Amino acid sequence: MACERQVVTSEEPVRERRLKGKWAVGVGLLAIALSIFQLYEAGFGLMAVQKLRAAHLAFVLALIFLLYPARKRSPKTRLPFYDVLLAALAVVGPVYLLWNFDALVVRAGAETWLDFAMGALTLVFVLEAARRAVGLALPMVAIVFLLYARFGAYLPEIIAHRGYSWERIINHLYPTTEGIFGVPLGAAATFVFMFILFGSVLQRTGIRDYLTNLAIASTGRFRGGPAKAAVLASYAMGTFSGSSTANVATTGTITIPLMKKVGFRPEVAGGVETAASSVGQFVPPVMGAAAFVMVEVTGIPYVEIIKAAAIPAILDMAGLLFILHLHASKHNLRGLPKEQVPRFLPTFLKNIHLLIPIVGLIGMLVVAKYSPMKSAFWSILLALLVSLIARNTIVVGRMMRALLARGNPVPRREEKEASAPAAVEAVGGRQLARTWVDFVKDVVFALEEGARSAVAVSAACACAGITVGVITLTGLGLRMSTIMINLSGGQLWIALLLTMLGCIVLGLGVPTTPNYIIVSALMAPTLVLLGVPLLAAHMFVFYFGILADDTPPVGVCAYAAAGIARADPIKTGIQGFLFDISAFVIPFLFVYNPALLLYGKVDPVQLVLGVASGLVGVFALSVMKEGWLFTRVGLLERLLMAAAAVILIMPSWTMDLLGFGTVAAILLWQLRKARRLALPAESP
Q: Give the model confidence (pLDDT) of 56-81 as tens digits.
A: 999 999 999 999 998 888 888 888 89
Task: Choose the final residue of a domain: 151, 180, 209.
Answer: 180
Dist. CA 375–CA 43, nearest whole Å = 10
Residues with Cβ within 8 Å of 346's Cβ and at least 6 positions away in sequence, in order, are none
For 591-617, what is the mean pLDDT? 90
Give the chain's mean pLDDT. 85
168 belongs to a structural domain: yes
323 belongs to a structural domain: no
Amino acid 437: pLDDT: 85
48 belongs to a structural domain: yes
Amino acid 51: pLDDT: 93
Give the chain's domain count.
2
590 belongs to a structural domain: no
435 belongs to a structural domain: no
78 belongs to a structural domain: yes
* DSSP conformation class of 111: -
pLDDT over 60 at 2, yes or no: no
- For residue 641, the enclosing domain spans 615-677
Dist. CA 291–CA 309, nearest whole Å = 10
Amino acid 420: pLDDT: 46
Amino acid 683: pLDDT: 37
For 13-23, what is the mean pLDDT? 75
Higher pLDDT, 487 or 4: 487
Cα dist from 30 to 69, 103, 254, 538, 610, whole Å: 17, 29, 33, 36, 50
Q: What is the DSSP string of 609-669?
A: HHHHHHHHHHHHHHHHHHTBSSSBPPHHHHHHHHHHHHHTTS--HHHHHHHHHHHHHHHHH
143 belongs to a structural domain: yes
**Residue range 290-325, pLDDT digits in tens:** 888 898 889 899 889 989 999 999 999 999 999 999
Q: Is the peptide bond before 266 cis (omega within 30 degrees of 0)?
A: no
Task: Choose the final residue of a domain: 153, 180, 207.
Answer: 180
26 belongs to a structural domain: yes
| pLDDT band, very low/low/confident/very high, at 397 (cuts 50, 70, 90) | low
Cα dist from 1 to 17, 31, 179, 317, 441, whole Å: 13, 10, 34, 38, 9
| pLDDT band, very low/low/confident/very high, at 404 (cuts 50, 70, 90) | low
Task: Choose the final residue of a domain: 129, 152, 180.
Answer: 180
Higher pLDDT, 683 or 172: 172
Amino acid 84: pLDDT: 94
Amino acid 470: pLDDT: 94
Classify the C-alpha dihedral 95-101-103-106 as positive or negative.
positive
The amino acid that residue 36 corresponds to is I
pTM equals 0.86
